[in-house]
Amino acid sequence: MTDSAFQDYYPDEFSHCYGCGRLNAHGLQLKSHWEGDESVALFQPEEKHMAVPGFVYGGLIASLIDCHCTGTAAAAAYREQGRAMDTEPGLRFVTASLHVDYLAPTPLASQLEVRGIVTEITPKKVVVDARVMADGKVCAKGRVVAVPLPKSMALKITGKK
């Protein structure tokens, strides 16, 4: 893994996300890295993230997959253009669709490993397949279709054209 996470390169105005924003003190602060052609994020659930005692609630799994995959989409788009993530123009992605298959109860006590792989990349969308593992076992699989942030929304957020 490299030292800096994808999310560390997000400009401040894009770093407030509950799932992955480094400036959201109450959030999950997910950090994703390349490991060869796969992206990886590690996350330790807290006691409050339970569904039933001992197991993680489904919304957390969905959140981890969502943020890990949109981060992976951005990183993949920079990589496709042969640019580092701290170069301009910035590339930001939002989720068009999210699918999660819950395969096995996910333990609350274990560190979770989220792995993503880009299965399609075009100027209009990036598709990322993900799996969430605990203790080496796949507990959930997911797919995110990420699309570039609409310019109208980017303008609202940054004030820049």
Which contiguous run of DSSP H or E holds residue 102?
strand 93-102
Nearer to a copy of itself, 15 or 34 (CB): 15
130 binds a copy of itself (CB under 8 A): no
Q: Which of 97, 14, 59 is nearest to 22 (CA)?
A: 14
Answer for the pair 32, 39: CB distance below 8 angstroms, yes or no.
yes
13 binds a copy of itself (CB under 8 A): yes
18 binds a copy of itself (CB under 8 A): yes
Q: How far apart are CA 57 and CA 53, in angstroms?
A: 10
Answer for the pair 58, 43: CB distance below 8 angstroms, yes or no.
no
Query: What is the bridge-based pairing of β-strands 137-148 and 126-134?
Result: antiparallel
Which residue carries 């054209």 as its tokens? Answer: 161
Nearer to a copy of itself, 37 or 119 (CB): 119
Interface pick for a copy of itself out of 124, 151, 156, 161 (rule CB under 8 A): 156
The nearest distance, CB 68 to a copy of itself, in angstroms, is 11
The nearest distance, CB 73 to a copy of itself, in angstroms, is 13
Tokens representing residue 78 in the block: 């920079």
Nearer to a copy of itself, 42 or 153 (CB): 153
Give the per-residue SS3 of 96-124.
EEEEEEECCCCECCCCEEEEEEEEEECCC
The nearest distance, CB 63 to a copy of itself, in angstroms, is 3
Nearer to a copy of itself, 44 or 97 (CB): 97
The nearest distance, CB 43 to a copy of itself, in angstroms, is 12
Q: What x-and-dash track marks residues 65-104 binding a copy of itself by CB under 8 A?
A: -xx--x-----------------------xxxxxxxxx--
The nearest distance, CB 153 to a copy of itself, in angstroms, is 6
Q: How far apart are CA 7 and CA 83, in angstroms?
A: 16
